[in-house]
Amino acid sequence: MSTPRYTLDLSGNHWKMERARPGTGVQEGFHDLPSEYQGIYYSWNQASVPGDVFTDLQRAGEIDDPFFGRNYHKTKWVTDYEWWYVTKFNLPEELEGKRFEIHFEGVDYSFEAWLNGKPIGSHTGMFSSFRPDVTHAVRFEQWMEGCNILMVKLDPAPKNLMNVGGRKQCFQGDYMTGVVPTGIWRPVKVVATDAVKIDYARIETPLGGADHDGPEDPNAPINATAVVELEVTNAGDKAIEVAFGADVSAANDDAGSGKGQASHTATVQPGESTVKFEVPLEDVYRWWPWDMGNQPLYNATISAKIGDVVSDEVTERIGVREIVMTRNPGYTEEEAEFPWTFTMNGKRHYLRGACWSGPPSLLYGRNNSAKYQARIKQVLQANINHLRIFGWHPPEVPEFYELCDEAGITVWTNFTFATQAYRATEEFMAGAKNDCIHIVKDRRNHPSAVMFMGGEEVFFSHAHAESDNRFIMEEMGRAIEPYTSIPYGLASPLSEQFGQKMGFKAHDSTHANGHYYGAGRTMMEEFYPKLDYCIVPELTAASAPNIESLKRFIPEDELWPMGPSWGYHHADIDILKNLNFEVFGQVRCDSLEDFVNGTQTAHGIIAHFALESLRRLKPKNSGIGLCHFMTHWPDIKWGIIDYYAKKKLSFDYVTRAYQPVLPSVDYVKRRWNPGENVDLGLYVINDTFDAKPGSTYRWSISTAQGEAASGEESVDIAPDSCVELKRINWQVPTDALPVDAEGGYAVPTFRVDVELLDGDGNTIAKNFHVLLVDDQENAKVRYRELNDANTAQRDELGKTYYRYFPEMYDVDNEEPDL
C-alpha cells in the first residue's frame, strides 16, 4: 500500500516579510521572484508563522514594544500597508504524481498567494481555511533552500468592524486598543493525497438526549455508537468506489480498553460529496466536566482506500458525550423563552464559568504552547469548570480546545459579532456564514465544546434594535445547523432593555456589569441579589495588576502618581477608587502599594459576593461567567490573572467562591451598626453528583478580640443541590465604633468563618466573609457623592481617559499670565 496523507508544516522562523504601499508589491514583481540563494528578499525582515506583523516588526527593531506605555497607537501606520510573506521548501521526489494542496488554516484578514510565480488564489476571512489545489505549480528538484517559493500578500487591515463581523476579531470597544491586528495567525501546511481526500470529519456520539439513563457511576463503561459524517473530494473525472474505514482506540488512560471499528463502501462521484456511516463502540467511557467525572479521550482514525491504496487518512480525537439544553426550573415560558441548563450525558452541568478573554496575547506571534498550558492550569486552580469565549475575542486555536478536553473544562464559543449594528447585505451574509461554518467544523469534535453563539451584546442599544442584528444571528444559527448538534444561542445578553424591546423575555440572560460601571450608585449587596435570570454570562469587577507587572508596561515616571499610561491601558481610575471605598470605607490612595492591594482585594470581595449570591439560586440559575479570567494585553481591568499570568489577590477569592462543594453565607448588607443584630443565612451548595451524608457544618464569628460566637449543624449533602441550612443572629458589640484615624477612616471588622466536614471529620471546604462595623446608610450617601463627582468630571472633560489627567488638554503646558 502507498503512504496516505503527507503533510509538511511550514510553521516556524524561516519566513521573510516586507511592506509595500497598497498595489505596489505586484507592480514590483514580488510575486514572481525566482527561487535562488539570495534574491531581493534576502534582506527582508525575519518573520515567523504563525505570527503577526507587529511582533515581526518589533523583533526587527522597526517598532518599539507596542504594549509599553502608549506605544501601540504609534504603530497605526502598520495597517495602512500590504505585507508580503515568503518561504521556500522542498518536497520528496517520490511524492510526484500525488495531488497537492496548500492549507492556509487562518490568515488575518484577507490575502492573495502565489507558488513559484503562479497565482493560487485569494481569500477573505480569518476564521475560514483556504485550501487551493497547487498540483500544477509544485516542483520536486532538491535545491539548497528549497525549489518551491510561496509568496503571500496580506491586504491592508480593515478599519470598520461593522463590515467584517463574524470574519474578524473585534478591534473596537471599551477595552480594545483600536489598533487592528493582522498576520498569518494559524499554520500553513502543504498536504498531499491521492485522488480521493477527506476534507472534514464530523464524529458524534448520541446517548439518548436529556433523559439519558446511563450507569449510576459516571465513570462506568458503556456501549455506544459513533456517527461519522465525512466531507470528501474526488479530484478525478470519474466515479470511484472507495472503502472507508474507522478505527477508534484509547487516547489516554481514562479511556481504558474501549474501542470500535467499522468499514463502509461508497461510490464517490467527481467533486465534493458526503459519506455517512456508524461505528459501534464497546466498553467506552463517557467524557465529563472535571467536577462530574473523568475525561476519557479516543483517537478515531478514518481512512479512504481505493483498491489496495490508502488515498487519504485523518485522525480526530473525540470524547463520548452528549450535550443537550433543558429549561431552567422556576420560570414560565412568558418569563424565559430559551433553555439555559447545560445537560451533560443526562446530568445538569452548572457553569462555574469565566470569560476566557484570550488568546494569551492579542498579537498572535506572542502566543505559544507553554502559555496556553500554564493558563489552563490556573483555570483549574480557580475551580472554574467552564470558559466562555465571547464575541470580542477570536475562537481559539486547536490546542486550547485539546487542553480543555484533557482538563474537563467546557467551552462556549461565540462568533465574532460584537457590540455593533450590522447590515445583512448579500456579500456580508455570504462571507459571515462561510467563516461561522468553518469555526464549527474546526471545533465540533472536541468534547469540551458545548455551545456556539451568534453575538456578543448585539441587542444592546437603539442602533442594535433598528439594525439587522437579530436576523443575522438567526441566520447564522440556520447556517451551522447542518454541521453540528452542539447547541446554538442567538446572543448574550437577551434580557436587557433593548433585548426586551426586540421581543426577548425578561429573565433569559443578563450581563451583570452595572455594579462596576455604576460604582457609587448601588452597593453590591443591593445589586446582585436582585438578579433573576436563567444564566448570567458576565459579571464584572476590576483591579490593577501586581506592581512587578505594572513596571513592565507603565513608564517609571507614570507609576505613581498615576500617569496617562494608566488610562491608556484601560484603568477606570475613578471606578477603582469608588470600589475601594465600597469595600474599605476609603479610596486607598496612600501609595502605589496601598492602591494596588486595595483594588485587588476589593475585586476579590465583590466577585466572591456576586458568585455566591448567584450560586445560591441553583438550579433556577444554571451558570455564571466571571468577566474575566485573564487579559490579552497588559491592561488594568477585569482579569484575576494579569497579562503576564501573575495572579491577583482576587484570584483566591474566586477560587474560594467556586469550590464545587461550598458552605455559603448569605447577608443582606456588609455594614452593621454597634448593637445591631446581624442576620446570616447558612447554605450548602453541591455541584458534584457525590452525596455526602453525615456531614457537619461549622460556623464562627470573630472580632479583633477573638471568637465571639460559634456553632455546628449536621447535614446530609445531596448531589447536585443547594439548600438553606439555617439562619443565625449575632449582636455587634456596642463598643465597636469607627474612628477617624490617621490616614483615613478606620472601620472595625468582624469575620464569619464556615467549614464543611464529611462523616469522618475531614474538611470538605472552608469559606469566610469579612463584614464591617459602620453605618450602611451613611456609607451609601458618601458613596453616591463620589459617583456624582466622577460623573460631573466625565460630563465636563469627556469619557476619554484624558479626564483623569486634564492637564493633557493643555499641550503647551503654559501657565497663563494674569
Chain segment 324-335, per-residue pLDDT in tens: 999 999 999 999
**Spatial CB neighbours of 739, under 8 Å, sequence gap ≥ 6:** 745, 746
* pLDDT at residue 542 greater than cutoff 70: yes
**Spatial CB neighbours of 189, under 8 Å, sequence gap ≥ 6:** 7, 8, 9, 10, 102, 103, 105
User: Do the domain assignments include residue 613?
Assistant: yes
What is the spatial order of strands in the sheet that 341-344 belongs to? 323-326, 341-344, 347-348
- Average pLDDT (598-627) is 98
**Spatial CB neighbours of 253, under 8 Å, sequence gap ≥ 6:** none
pLDDT digits (tens, 9 = 90+) for 286-308: 999 999 999 999 999 999 999 99
Determine the pLDDT at residue 746. Answer: 65
Beta strand pairing status for 671-672 and 763-773? parallel
What cell numbers appear for 297 in the block?
479521550
**Residues 636 and 738 both lie in one domain:** no
**Residues 183 and 202 both lie in one domain:** no
Band of residue 144 on the pLDDT scale cut at 50, 70, 90: confident
- Average pLDDT (740-751) is 66
CA–CA separation, 520 vs 579, rounded Å?
8
User: Do the domain assignments include residue 812?
Assistant: no
**Contact (CB, 8 A) for 167 and 306:** no
**Spatial CB neighbours of 187, under 8 Å, sequence gap ≥ 6:** 9, 10, 11, 49, 50, 103, 105
Determine the pLDDT at residue 35. Answer: 63
**Residues 20 and 98 both lie in one domain:** yes
CA–CA separation, 118 vs 31, rounded Å?
8
Q: What interhelical angle do 398-407 and 369-381 show, nearest 10?
A: 30
- Residue 792 φ/ψ, nearest 5 degrees: -65, -40
pLDDT digits (tens, 9 = 90+) for 208-236: 876 777 788 999 999 999 999 999 999 99
Determine the pLDDT at residue 345. Answer: 96
Domain range enclosing 245: 196-318
Q: Of 15-19, 122-126, 792-796, give the lowest mean pLDDT range.
A: 792-796
CA–CA separation, 813 vs 816, rounded Å?
10
**Residues 43 and 92 both lie in one domain:** yes
User: Do the domain assignments include residue 583?
Assistant: no
The candidate with the shortest Cα–Cα distance to 748, out of 585, 590, 525, 607, is 585
**Residues 457 and 515 both lie in one domain:** yes
What cell numbers appear for 365 in the block?
506571534
Residue 459, amino acid = F
CA–CA separation, 154 vs 56, rounded Å?
14
Maximum distance among all Cα pairs of the chain, rounded to whole angstroms? 96
Determine the pLDDT at residue 1. Answer: 37
The three-state secondary structure class of 85 is strand
Q: What interhelical angle do 592-615 and 573-584 show, nearest 10?
A: 70
Residue 597, amino acid = N
pTM recorded for the entire structure = 0.96
The three-state secondary structure class of 73 is helix
pLDDT digits (tens, 9 = 90+) for 368-379: 999 999 999 999
**Residues 163 and 23 both lie in one domain:** yes
Band of residue 12 on the pLDDT scale cut at 50, 70, 90: very high
**Last-in-domain residue among 151, 172, 192:** 192
The candidate with the shortest Cα–Cα distance to 552, out of 473, 621, 634, 624, is 634
CA–CA separation, 629 vs 411, rounded Å?
13
Determine the pLDDT at residue 742. Answer: 47
The three-state secondary structure class of 254 is helix
pLDDT digits (tens, 9 = 90+) for 24-54: 999 999 988 766 666 677 889 999 999 999 9
Q: What is the phi-psi region of residue 208: left when phi exceeds 0, alpha when psi lies from -120 to 50, beta otherwise? A: left
Determine the pLDDT at residue 36. Answer: 64
User: Do the domain assignments include residue 595?
Assistant: no
pLDDT digits (tens, 9 = 90+) for 91-115: 999 999 999 999 999 999 999 999 9
Percentage of the residues of the chain whose pLDDT score is greater than 70: 97
**Contact (CB, 8 A) for 296 and 318:** no
**Residues 200 and 303 both lie in one domain:** yes
Determine the pLDDT at residue 93. Answer: 95
**Residues 522 and 407 both lie in one domain:** yes
Best-predicted range by mean pLDDT (34-38, 683-687, 701-705): 683-687
Q: Of 149-153, 390-394, 697-701, give the lowest mean pLDDT range.
A: 390-394
Band of residue 196 on the pLDDT scale cut at 50, 70, 90: very high
User: Do the domain assignments include residue 723?
Assistant: yes
**Residues 629 and 689 both lie in one domain:** no
User: Do the domain assignments include residue 735?
Assistant: yes
**Residues 511 and 649 both lie in one domain:** yes
- Average pLDDT (56-80) is 96
Band of residue 642 on the pLDDT scale cut at 50, 70, 90: very high
- Average pLDDT (402-406) is 98
Band of residue 737 on the pLDDT scale cut at 50, 70, 90: low
| CATH number of the domain that residue 421 is part of | 3.20.20.80
Band of residue 80 on the pLDDT scale cut at 50, 70, 90: very high
| CATH number of the domain that residue 677 is part of | 2.60.40.10
CA–CA separation, 263 vs 247, rounded Å?
9
**Residues 159 and 228 both lie in one domain:** no
Q: Which position has the grid cell 463520548?
A: 320
The candidate with the shortest Cα–Cα distance to 668, out of 530, 767, 774, is 530
User: Do the domain assignments include residue 765?
Assistant: yes
H-state helical runs in 206-274: none
Q: Degrees (nearest 5) of the Cα angle 544, 546, 551?
A: 100
- Average pLDDT (588-615) is 97
What cell numbers appear for 92 in the block?
520528496
**Last-in-domain residue among 165, 192, 219:** 192
- Average pLDDT (57-64) is 97
Band of residue 738 on the pLDDT scale cut at 50, 70, 90: low
CA distances for 201 relative to 217, 311, 646, 659, 765, angstroms:
31, 15, 39, 37, 43
State how many domains the chain has.
4
CA distances for 360 relative to 126, 393, 405, angstroms:
18, 11, 18
Rounded mean pLDDT of the chain?
A: 94
Q: Of 307-316, 497-506, 547-556, 734-743, give the lowest mean pLDDT range.
A: 734-743
**Last-in-domain residue among 192, 211, 227:** 192
pLDDT digits (tens, 9 = 90+) for 251-290: 999 999 999 999 999 999 999 999 999 999 999 999 999 9
**Residues 97 and 149 both lie in one domain:** yes
| CATH number of the domain that residue 145 is part of | 2.60.120.260
- Average pLDDT (753-780) is 96
CA–CA separation, 798 vs 794, rounded Å?
5
User: Do the domain assignments include residue 286?
Assistant: yes
